[in-house]
Amino acid sequence: MGTPAARLTLSALNEMSREAFTETLGGIFEHSPWVAEGAYESRPFGTVKELHEAMMRTTREAGEEHILSLLRAHPDLATRLQVTPLSAAEQKGAGLDRLTPEEFAVLTDLNVRYTEKYLFPFILAVRGKNKDDIIASISKRVNGTKETEWERAIAEIGKITKFRLEDLFGTNDGLRET
């Protein structure tokens, strides 16, 4: 994403080639540039909200295998494994880089239990949340049903990617470009 966030506009995005469009938006959905590539066909976008809706539609229509690969591309929260810069910043903002050893052990255990049960990692839009909110959420959701968590994970990806697009376009008013 070589263009500074404040200078990327929808008109510039709408004029991009498929390759440039995919490169620019390829990291919005974690390690899944196919989402941006699929949304390309819906150009031109009049609002950032329309862009996000096209990307979410691409995701939902991709089929179970592609969606599962997208879910599995997300890192465990508070993991010590390599994460993308966007994920690292989001987790740091929620205080997940400052867990006590005990909190880290609890979150690690819950992540393992969650992933074993649902076959994908716990996904939560952490912006505006703190480590206690996150631990409470995974503690509750680890006891849910597979169908409910599948839908919840996709909805959380929708929130995460909405925040990322708002950051990229310099908007924060419900995905309306100013």
Q: What is the pLDDT of residues 81-124, one digit of tens each?
A: 444 556 556 655 566 677 788 888 888 899 999 999 999 999 99
CA distance 103 to 10: 42
Does 62 fall in a domain?
A: yes
Does 175 fall in a domain?
A: no
Q: What is the pLDDT of residue 130?
A: 86
How many CA atoms lie less than 13 Å away from 3 in the CB half-sphere? Answer: 18
> In this structure, how many other beta carbons lie within 10 angstroms of the beta carbon of residue 176?
12
DSSP conformation letters of 98-141: G--HHHHHHHHHHHHHHHHHHSS------TT--HHHHHHHHHHH
Contact yes or no for 54/39 (Cβ under 8 A) = yes
Asked if 74 is an active-site residue, the reply is yes
- Any idea what the CATH number is for the domain that residue 48 is in? 1.10.3330.10
Task: Give per-residue pLDDT as tens, 15-38.
Answer: 999 999 999 999 999 999 999 999
Distance of CA 82 to the CA centre of its chain: 16
Does 75 fall in a domain?
A: yes
The model's pTM: 0.83
Number of domains in the chain: 1
Q: What is the mean pLDDT of the chain?
A: 86
Domain that holds residue 64: 5-169
Q: Which of 31, 52, 66, 74 is catalytic?
A: 74
